[in-house]
Chains A and B, each alone.
Chain A
Amino acid sequence: MVLPPISSQAVDPRTSRCHTVELGPLKLDSGVVLERFTVAYQTYGRLNAAKSNAILICHALTGDQYVADAHPVTGKPGWWHMLVGPGNLFDTSRYQLICANILGGCMGSTGPREVNPASGKPWGLSFPVITVGDIVAAQALLIDHLGIDQLFCVIGGSMGGMQVLEWASSFPERVYAAVPIAAAARHSAQNIAFHEVGRQAIMADPDWMGGDYLLAGTNPHRGLAVARMAAHITYLSETALHRKFGRKLQDRTQVTYGFEADFQVESYLRHQGSTFVDRFDANSYLYITRAMDYFDLAAQHGGVLANAFKATPVRFCVVSFTSDWLFPTRESRAIVHALNAVAAKVSFVEVESDKGHDAFLLDEPEFHKTLAGFLDGQATHRGLTAKAAE
């Protein structure tokens, strides 16, 4: 399959749609029952008559449902826009793409920023702690609502990949193919530690107001920006950082003997932090990082990861990147070993890239070729032809 050149015009506006739906009840892992909750989601392409061509795209921690069209707050193109469109990897004339803002998110789905109908006030910290399992259970209710019995594919990177694994484990009959990218079956101690740094940065900001900043009319933007800066470093590789910035100075010829952003890398991180706060909610960041920390698929199955996939009919394609130290290849290998142990149909490729964890969001031709090949092969097996959705 030849990929067309990258274009921000790839999305066909005739088939891109923005939706919200009220669902519920949902019993959460914590025991709390959410009677009603909202899911905001985007679709691209059309569902075929057999409802067999749906691809659920699971977004990452700070991602959202705007996979391919411009982000409503930042105006930037969608995070996988280069892969979506007629004839592209996510061929919208062949598949219907669905991407929902996760439960606990802040782009329209129910989360700590939304108003609790019971109190008439923003949920804030009264929002129940959620898990990856809850996020997926909420998505399953959405898929029920759409009348889809089986998704052709569930795909996602990073935390999106955790959701993919949870889907395949909890609803094996509802997933034809699963693609966890740069993911892990459990969040490592190091990753929990990084998340804790981010949460502490947010909670140390006086404007966080014990989580009630929406009521107080403040915004813990400094804390959230620091959280983002720290996290952003973990998404890159040392090589990528060095290539991009080295020790280059920012708009100056010598150091200032002060604490301004002398170095380009500092300026870049500050920019990453400050733009992030415009589009993300601090409490949402607390809840979603917590959901990732709690994720441990093996622990949910008696400590044996293979038990999560017993007799699975799902066809897997596991992808990792050589320079990803946040979700390193050994995490993907652990998934592959578990799948081998239950004789699952699994493909696994470690893509050579020096771009770190973020590689799954970037232009990586070998990754895209493998992904396109896997999807095309599975779609052919499933009898999905191009234009099936027309």
Chain B
Amino acid sequence: MNSGTLRVDLKLIADWVEPKSRVLDVGCGDGELLRHLAHEKNVDGRGIELSMAGVSAAVRRGLAVIQGDADTDLKDYPSGAFDTVILSQTLQATRNPREVLAHLLRIGRRAIVSFPNFGHWRIRLNLLAFGRMPVTAALDANWYDTPNIHLCTIRDFTALAGELGLSIEKAVSLTQEGRVRPFAPGDAWANLLGEHGLFLLSNRANR
């Protein structure tokens, strides 16, 4: 795997990670991002992944990855154990996103969270025009078989971060084609034009 083939959102995440830091990737899949971070940034990385196939592939890459569940296993990590905790395209699939988010910033000094934006214009239009649950490139499953049980918009997420007392250090929106657009919290255009939201959060209490 070379860095050139890394997905655009993963590359953005990687850019936000400090070299030689300690990173926990929650929902790390086959460890593509962790491997990139270890090679390119000398990061001391750990991962959690739900699927046996993902864990097995990551372990075969020499990564420290455990089979586990963001909803149940984050509570076992000590506070402040990591510099950055990453939750990439997983928040919407957790049973208790609010609790998960709180744990991310208890375990880590900073958290990087990405998710599909349910506020994107195509989704809004789909629902308005056809009255059915939208199926798009970013959210390509039918309502009855989607793993995404807690979808939110960029504005919803911004509000939750505020409720939890988290500060948004950086935020960008992405389109499915990989067009990146940084935005400031409260920017309504990001919520309309971004197919994905990507946030760098820190704990106000930690600053």
Contacts and interface: CB of A to CB of B under 8 A. Distances in A.
Nearest to A367: B56
Contacts of A346: 46, 64, 66
B131 interface: no
A340 B66 contact: yes
A231 interface: no
A359 interface: no
B67 interface: yes
Contacts of B76: 337, 340-341
B146 to A, nearest CB: 24
Nearest to A374: B59
B81 A315 contact: no
Which of A337, A340, A352, A381 has most B Cβ within 10 Å? A340
B66 A345 contact: no
Nearest to B58: A347
A370 B67 contact: no
Interface in B35-90: 46, 52, 55-56, 58-68, 73, 76-78, 81
A378 interface: yes
A380 B46 contact: no
B56 A377 contact: no
Contacts of B60: 1, 369-370, 372-374, 376-377
B47 to A, nearest CB: 9
B11 to A, nearest CB: 24
B81 A343 contact: yes
Given A349-B67, A376-B60, A377-B60, A340 B77 contact: yes
A315 B67 CA distance: 16
A317 interface: yes
A345 B46 contact: yes
B77 A349 contact: no
B46 A350 contact: no
B31 to A, nearest CB: 10
A373 to B, nearest CB: 3
B64 A347 contact: yes
B59 A317 contact: yes
Nearest to A336: B66
A372 B60 CA distance: 7
Contacts of A376: 60, 62
Contact of B63 (A318, A347, A351, A352): A347
A347 B66 contact: yes
B78 A350 contact: no
Q: How large is the interface on B (under 10, 10 to 19, 20 to 34, 35 or more residues)?
A: 20 to 34
A41 B46 CA distance: 36
A247 B7 CA distance: 54
Interface string A174-205: 00000000000000000000000000000000
A350 B67 contact: yes
A349 B52 contact: yes
A381 B62 contact: yes
Contacts of A348: 55, 65-68
A366 interface: yes
A377 B62 CA distance: 4
Given A347-B65, A349-B67, A350-B52, A370 B78 contact: no
Nearest to B62: A377
A168 to B, nearest CB: 15
Given A340-B76, A340-B77, A341-B76, A351 B52 contact: yes
Contacts of B65: 347-348
B77 A341 contact: yes
Interface string A324-340: 00000000000011001
Interface string A342-366: 0101111111100000000000001
Contacts of A351: 52
Given A317-B59, A347-B64, A374-B62, 12 more contacts: A1-B60, A318-B66, A347-B65, A349-B55, A349-B56, A349-B59, A351-B52, A366-B56, A369-B60, A374-B59, A376-B60, A377-B63
30 contacts: A317-B59, A318-B66, A337-B73, A340-B76, A340-B77, A340-B78, A341-B76, A343-B22, A343-B81, A345-B46, A345-B64, A346-B66, A347-B55, A347-B59, A347-B63, A347-B64, A347-B65, A348-B65, A348-B68, A349-B52, A350-B52, A369-B60, A370-B56, A370-B59, A372-B60, A373-B62, A377-B59, A377-B60, A377-B62, A377-B63
Interface of A: 1, 315, 317-318, 336-337, 340-341, 343, 345-352, 366, 369-370, 372-374, 376-378, 380-381
Q: Which 3 A-B pairs have the closest CB atoms?
A: A377-B62, A373-B60, A348-B66
